[in-house]
Amino acid sequence: MSHAWTFSPVIALRRLLPVPVRSLLQGLAFALVATQPGHAQNATTPRLDVPYVPTPQPVVDKMLDLAKVGRKDVLFDLGCGDGRIVITAAKARGARGTGIDIDPTRIQEAVQNAKTAGVADRVNFKQGDLFEADFSPATVVTLYLLPDINRKLRPQLWKQLKVGTRVVSHDFDMGDEWPPERVEKVGNKTLYYWTIREQHKKAAS
């Protein structure tokens, strides 16, 4: 298979746009995916706040680098998809982890992927709504959601997480109420990094 670089006018145009405009367009693209026939909701599929779009592996690796994930960490991925972030944290960094996803198909895939990767004893996957989940044991939380879902989740992150817990989000920030401490690029992707501080716990109580 050839990996020769080819010019893409869409990518070139995207790079000319300011980051907030790109994020907005990406949010709209997510919403469009969610309304396609393949993503139609029926009696057996739960209502998704965010459609399933997996994080590319180089971006997963960079998210774990940014949070300095290691053996002592307990990583929660809220909206875990096929489990790749939790599984990579366990396999490559020796961490333990939990993935939560509202879609039972994703949870089945994640459980199988953890077995295949040989880390089923270090990770677990739970089907459920991230807005109803207890993620207080986390030392690291990873997110690939949407701007409005991040903003809605922010008070719960402040309330549940311990001081010092690291939070990394793929592509979307938390709005003006919680500016990131670090912003990193991986190709055309943006990663945002925060830590929970005493002031957040006070504001949440």
Ligand X SMILES: C[S@@+](CC[C@H](N)C(=O)[O-])C[C@H]1O[C@@H](n2cnc3c(N)ncnc32)[C@H](O)[C@@H]1O
- Contacting residues toward ligand X, per CB under 6 A: 48-50, 52-55, 77, 79-81, 84-85, 100-103, 106, 129-131, 144, 170
Closest separation in Å from C-beta 147 to ligand X: 12
Q: How far apart are the first and last CA of the chain?
A: 55
Pick 104 or 203: Cβ nearer ligand X: 104
Q: How far is the CB of 124 from ligand X (least distance, A)?
A: 15
> What order of strands is seen across the sheet that includes strand 140-143?
123-127, 96-101, 74-78, 140-143, 166-170, 189-195, 182-186
Report the Cα 174 to chain-centroid distance in Å: 13
C-beta of 105 vs 201, nearer to ligand X: 105
Q: Which is nearer to ligand X, 149 or 196 (CB)?
A: 149
Assigned token pair, 145? 């959601």
Look at residues 150, 99, 139, 146 and name the one whose alpha carbon lies nearest to residue 122. 99
What's at 24, amino acid-wise? L
Residue 30: both structure tokens together: 């997510």
The least CB distance from residue 58 to ligand X, in Å, is 12
Shortest Cβ 5–ligand X spacing (Å): 25
* Least distance in angstroms from the C-beta of 24 to ligand X: 16
Task: Select 2 or 44, whichever has its Cβ closest to ligand X.
Answer: 44
With respect to ligand X, which residue has the nearer C-beta, 56 or 197?
56
Q: In the complex, what is the shortest distance from the CB of residue 134 to ligand X, in angstroms, rounded to a whole number? A: 13
**Are residues 122 and 101 in contact, defined by beta-carbon separation less than 8 angstroms?**
no
C-alpha closest to that of 72 among 91, 96, 88, 53:
96
Identity of the residue, 109 or 196, whose beta carbon is nearer to ligand X in the bound complex: 109
Alpha helices in 71-187 (DSSP H): 84-93, 104-117, 147-160
